[in-house]
């Protein structure tokens, strides 16, 4: 399957436009896509701390998505952020013509439940209770949390999309896998509404609500996979990404609600530098 801009596929994503409107995408702490199958751990940050995007001695408020402390300056803000400017396998990327590979898509076992939802000053995120999981190439990853970016960090043939959500998982080995979902404008999504209702949370605050985890995923789970990094400081490398090829549809009102909380919390795409990008072709 080859991803194309939204106009080429009725159910594919509608671009958010070329103008840029936190938390970033976190994904596999397996050093390469091949490590999915082996279930190996790596030195990358674990799920409990990686997407908090704070480093020792440096508060999250010291970096931003705009101004003097924006993405272009992250690598100079702290020694712990050096990979943001010096790394060669950084995320996000612009996906173009991924290579089909004979591998099965991930398998999900999600159920709805009461969750803590937090505004950490860079995004709104929901924490999963025990029992939700994703299996990739025979390895089971427990769902830890989910957060969003607006507009999408991932680009498809140069097009960005209204919203991107990242479902962060961790295996017993310590390996982290994040399933990234892109959003297109369409009909209202009841599955996403309980999370969207939390967009009014003040900075550095949290609430408890029921999250419809089982209703938040796309209809199909085929994914684009590549090696990458965290997309917030310190931009740690040695990670892998799963980006769903099937979008989730939400209404324009729901998109605007996301944007009312964080409308510009996306890192620009980074050079591929020769990395392989594949797409599931079961």
Domain boundaries, the chain: 6-280
Higher pLDDT, 52 or 163: 163
Q: What is the mean pLDDT of residues 84-106?
A: 96
Q: Which pLDDT does position 245 carry in this prediction?
A: 96
Q: Which pLDDT does position 8 carry in this prediction?
A: 33
Q: Which pLDDT does position 171 carry in this prediction?
A: 87
In this model, does residue 40 exceed pLDDT 50? no
Provide the percentage of residues in the chain whose pLDDT is more than 90.
68
Q: Which pLDDT does position 6 carry in this prediction?
A: 38
pLDDT tens-digit map of 203-248: 999 999 999 999 999 999 999 999 888 888 999 887 778 999 999 9
Higher pLDDT, 263 or 281: 263
Higher pLDDT, 103 or 29: 103
What gap in Å lies between CA 214 and CA 119, rounded to an integer?
22
Q: Which pLDDT does position 53 carry in this prediction?
A: 45
Higher pLDDT, 20 or 116: 116
Q: Which pLDDT does position 84 carry in this prediction?
A: 98
pTM above 0.85, yes or no: no
Strand 176-185 to strand 248-250: parallel, antiparallel, or no bridges (unpaired)?
A: parallel
Phi, psi torsion values for 255, nearest 5 degrees: -60, -45
Q: What is the mean pLDDT of residues 51-69?
A: 66
Exposure letters 44-65 (e unless 16+ CB within 10 A, then b): bbebeebbbbbbeebebeebbb
What value does the CA radius of gyration of the chain take, rounded to a whole number of Å?
17
In this model, does residue 34 exceed pLDDT 80? no
Q: Which pLDDT does position 177 carry in this prediction?
A: 82
Degrees, nearest 5: CA angle 256-126-42: 120
Reported as a pLDDT band with limits 50, 70 and 90, residue 24 is: very low
What gap in Å lies between CA 261 and CA 6, rounded to an integer?
25
Phi, psi torsion values for 148, nearest 5 degrees: -135, 165
Domain 6-280, CATH among 3.10.200.10, 3.40.109.10, 3.40.50.300, 3.10.129.10: 3.10.200.10
User: Cβ of 221: how many Cβ atoms within 10 Å?
Assistant: 21
CA distances for 10 relative to 4, 58, 86, 141, 219, angstroms: 11, 45, 39, 32, 14
25-29, 98-102, 129-133, 150-154: least confidently modelled range: 25-29
Residues assigned a catalytic role: 122
In this model, does residue 280 exceed pLDDT 90? yes
**173 membership: H or E segment, kind and range:** none
Reported as a pLDDT band with limits 50, 70 and 90, residue 79 is: very high
> At a CB cut-off of 8 Å and minimum separation 6, what does 67 contact?
none
What gap in Å lies between CA 206 and CA 4, rounded to an integer?
38
Q: Which pLDDT does position 74 carry in this prediction?
A: 97
pLDDT tens-digit map of 138-181: 999 999 999 999 999 999 999 999 999 999 888 899 888 889 99
Q: Which pLDDT does position 198 carry in this prediction?
A: 98
Structure tokens at 148: 């969003």
Q: What is the mean pLDDT of residues 106-110?
A: 97
Q: What is the mean pLDDT of the chain?
A: 83
């Amino acid at each position: 399957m080859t991803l194309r801009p939204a106009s080429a596929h009725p159910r594919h994503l509608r671009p958010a436009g070329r103008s840029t409107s936190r938390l970033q995408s976190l994904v596999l702490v397996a050093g390469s896509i091949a490590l999915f199958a082996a279930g190996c751990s790596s030195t990358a940050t674990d799920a409990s701390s990686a997407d908090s995007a704070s480093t020792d001695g440096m508060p999250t408020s010291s970096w931003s998505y705009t101004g003097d402390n924006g993405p272009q300056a992250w690598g100079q803000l702290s020694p712990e952020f050096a990979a943001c400017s010096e790394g060669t396998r950084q995320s996000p990327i612009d996906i173009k013509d991924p290579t089909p590979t004979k591998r099965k898509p991930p398998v999900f076992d999600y159920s709805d439940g009461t969750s803590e939802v937090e505004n950490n000053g860079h995004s709104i995120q929901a924490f999963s209770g025990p029992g939700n999981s994703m299996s990739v190439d025979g390895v089971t990853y427990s769902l830890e949390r989910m957060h969003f970016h607006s507009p999408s960090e991932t680009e498809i043939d140069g097009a960005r999309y209204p919203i991107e959500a990242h479902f962060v998982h961790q295996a017993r080995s310590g390996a982290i896998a994040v399933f990234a979902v892109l959003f297109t404008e369409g009909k209202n999504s009841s599955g996403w509404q309980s999370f969207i209702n939390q967009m009014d949370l003040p900075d550095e605050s949290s609430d408890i609500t029921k999250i419809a985890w089982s209703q938040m995923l796309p209809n199909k789970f085929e994914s684009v996979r590549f090696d990458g990094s965290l997309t917030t400081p310190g931009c740690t490398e040695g990670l892998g990404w799963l980006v769903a090829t099937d979008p989730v549809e939400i209404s324009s009102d729901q998109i605007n609600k996301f944007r009312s909380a964080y409308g510009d919390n996306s890192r620009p795409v980074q050079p591929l530098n020769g990395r392989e990008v594949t797409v599931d072709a079961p």
